């Protein structure tokens, strides 16, 4: 039975076509025997890694040229779900032709990105992101075995979640890429914070230098800074070239600075409903509020004054249309 018969409708749509193809037809599944490795003049490396959180496990086979440290062949066996198979197959493919030192630099983000159909669209749903983390870990296990060192010696990055082995750089990239705003979302995407929970915030059984809540706060500040920069930059952009949000903000500012106070003094006000380009014209649709909605001058003198000020301050092709 293929995986396409096990996963229905909406869920299936969350997987890239590459992942779907590899689930059913992995290219690198199998093993490398000692005899095959010797025939290639290589050293056989067999590394196992299991994820306690879901019960999945992967076995990685490398045939490494001892003279150059180049991985001449890479295969795997996966004991787990379809996503684990696809991730492991992609991981094995990425290892081929690389030196052991180069392979160690392959991250779970590299594995997940390699499975995407589109650069900015995740290859798998959030709850399956941890499968690529397992692929990332088994590479380090194999490299440690080849070099005769401890697996931890390859860890050059800060590990925020020890339970799921999720690094600081991975968390930052996943948060930014998917615009995450809660700890629960981070856990869905990476499994960080799913187990002992010490990495979520201070107060757990293990003290950390940085926590998930710190990363969310850092990202929020980064977004606010970018928004402020964009707003500042927008002041130098011609009105017709602004985004719709920038245009509405620019019109509101002109109204606030020049018109609104007079309307309020007469018991009225106005609001911007929409801004649309109409040929050479830029049509601004407004609605009068309070006393202005029934005032005779709202369609004559007041409208003329509003339109003239917006033309002067923003663009001569502006037309103001009350609704």
What residues act catalytically?
Answer: 54, 131
Query: What whole-number distance in Å separates Cα of residue 126 and Cα of residue 211?
Result: 20
What distances in angstroms separate CA 283 from CA 273, 275, 323, one per listed residue? 11, 6, 12
Taking only Cα atoms into account, the Rg of the chain, rounded to an integer number of angstroms, comes to 29
The CB-side HSE value for 309 (13 A sphere, CA atoms) comes to 17
Rounded to 5 degrees, φ, ψ at 163 are -60, -45
Length of the chain: 323
Burial class (CB in 10 A: 0-12, 13-18, 19+), 323: exposed
Pairing type for strands 268-278 and 281-290 reads: antiparallel
First-to-last C-alpha distance (Å) of the chain:
60
- Where do we find the tokens 């509003």? 306
Instruction: List the Cα angle 116/107/62 in 5-degree steps.
Output: 100
H/E element holding 6?
none
The two tokens of residue 97 are: 């032709």
Query: What whole-number distance in Å separates Cα of residue 59 and Cα of residue 66?
Result: 21
Query: What whole-number distance in Å separates Cα of residue 314 and Cα of residue 323?
Result: 21
Query: What whole-number distance in Å separates Cα of residue 52 and Cα of residue 145?
Result: 21
Pairing type for strands 57-64 and 71-79 reads: antiparallel
- Where do we find the tokens 């309070």? 290
Q: Name the DSSP letter for residue 73.
A: E
């Amino acid at each position: 039975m293929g995986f396409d018969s096990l996963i229905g409708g909406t869920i299936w749509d969350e997987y890239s076509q590459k992942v779907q193809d590899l689930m059913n037809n992995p290219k690198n599944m199998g093993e490398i025997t000692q005899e095959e490795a010797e025939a290639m003049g290589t050293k056989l490396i067999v590394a196992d890694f299991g994820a306690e959180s879901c019960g999945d496990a992967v076995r990685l086979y490398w045939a490494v040229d001892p003279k150059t440290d180049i991985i001449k062949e890479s295969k795997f066996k996966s004991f787990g779900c379809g996503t684990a198979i696809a991730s492991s197959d992609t991981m094995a493919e990425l290892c081929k032709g690389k030196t052991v030192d180069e392979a160690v630099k392959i991250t779970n983000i590299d594995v997940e990105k390699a499975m995407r159909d589109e650069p900015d669209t995740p290859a798998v749903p959030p709850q399956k992101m941890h499968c690529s983390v397992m692929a990332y870990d088994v590479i380090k296990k194999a490299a440690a075995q080849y070099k005769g060192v401890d697996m931890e010696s390859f860890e050059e990055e800060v590990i925020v979640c020890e339970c799921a082995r999720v690094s600081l750089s991975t968390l930052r990239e996943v948060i930014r890429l998917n615009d995450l705003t809660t700890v629960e979302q981070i856990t869905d995407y990476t499994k960080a914070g799913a187990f002992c929970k010490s990495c979520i915030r201070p107060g757990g059984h293990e003290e950390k230098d940085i926590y998930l809540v710190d990363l969310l706060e850092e990202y929020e500040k980064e977004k606010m800074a970018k928004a402020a920069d964009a707003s500042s930059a927008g002041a130098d952009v011609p009105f017709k070239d602004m985004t719709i949000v920038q245009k509405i903000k620019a019109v509101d500012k002109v109204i606030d600075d020049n018109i609104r106070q007079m309307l309020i003094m007469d018991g009225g006000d106005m609001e911007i409903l929409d801004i649309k380009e109409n040929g050479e014209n830029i049509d601004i649709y407004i609605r009068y509020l309070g006393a202005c909605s029934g005032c005779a001058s709202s369609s004559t003198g007041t409208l003329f004054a509003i339109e003239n000020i917006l033309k002067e301050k923003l663009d001569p092709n502006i037309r103001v249309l009350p609704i």
